Amino acid sequence: MDDYLKVANSAIVWVLCGITVAIALGQAILYMRMAKKTAAKVQMPSEIPNKAFRIGLISAIGPALGVFIVMVGLMASIGGPMAWLRLSIIGAAATELTAASLGAQACGVELGGEGYTLTVMAVSWFVMALNGAGWLVVTGVATPALEKLREKMSGGDTAWLAVLSGACSLGIFGYLNVNEIIKGWGNAIASIAGAFCMVLLVKFIVPKCPKLLEYSLGIAMLFGMFCAIMYDIAVA
């Protein structure tokens, strides 16, 4: 195991992975600059995009913590640079972990277990890369048709489109929540507590302090995680 980890954590791998992460960071910065320039062109008040950026930053706290924990676990199996790279440009912790595990299982061993050699690690890396490439290909092919599909489904009615978008979001997040809830009491408590906190904030606290609206999702996530941790400590 030590032999393949020496290769996985070598300086050249850190440099190569760092280049890719730097490109992703550059793309994010360019996107933010373009968004601000576009907002100025359409004479949108600067407060609106700034508020959107703050909401996005705060909302990312909870998912980022989950991704970081998975990254630490992956570092022991596939090396620090590749774990950093995969979860910096993709961020889907569960998917990356599954891809790495499937690569190892295809070679007849468990991820990071006995028999996990340099060759098996290379297979895990390859499966993770294929997984990410598939998303990029589908996005590139399907994106041009999405606008036409959106117009066709909405029939030009923006109000109906807003309802449809909200319903889709509820369905997606509901599905993801159910998958987490059935994993155990800790996950269930985190989901229920977070939802309860969000309702409490939006219904009772935000009307009195509107500035808290953009922080409400982050607060609800942290509250849910806190309750789950307290439960784990209580039953330990």
> Which pLDDT tens digit goes with each residue over 34-69?
988 888 888 888 888 888 888 777 777 766 776 777
The pLDDT of residue 13 is above 80: yes
- pLDDT of amino acid 99: 84
Quote the CA–CA distance of 192 and 178 in Å, as a whole number: 11
As a whole number, the mean pLDDT across the chain is 83
pLDDT at residue 173 greater than cutoff 80:
no
Reply yes or no on whether the pLDDT at 71 is more than 70.
yes
Helices (H), the chain: 2-8, 11-41, 47-59, 61-78, 80-89, 93-106, 118-154, 158-181, 185-200, 216-235
Length in residues, the chain: 236
pLDDT for position 1: 53
Residues 6+ apart with CB under 8 A from 103: 111, 120, 123, 124, 125, 126, 127, 128
pLDDT given at position 217: 73
Query: Is residue 2 over pLDDT 60?
Result: no
The answer to whether the beta carbons of residues 224 and 183 sit under 8 Å apart is: no
Specify whether the CB–CB gap between 110 and 116 falls below 8 A. yes
| % of the chain with per-residue pLDDT over 90 | 17
User: What's the CA gap between 129 and 52, in Å, rounded?
Assistant: 31
Q: What is the 3-state secondary structure (H, E, C) of 133-198?
A: HHHHHHHHHHHHHHHHHHHHHHCCCHHHHHHHHHHHHHHHHHHHHHHHHCCCHHHHHHHHHHHHHH
pLDDT digits (tens, 9 = 90+) for 181-200: 888 898 899 889 988 998 99
Tokens for 223?
A: 């509250």
Does pLDDT of 104 surpass 80? yes
pLDDT at position 62: 65
pLDDT, position 184: 86
pLDDT of residue 14: 94
Please give the DSSP secondary-structure letter assigned to residue 43: T
On the question of pLDDT at 89 being above 70, the answer is yes
Average pLDDT of 196-223? 83
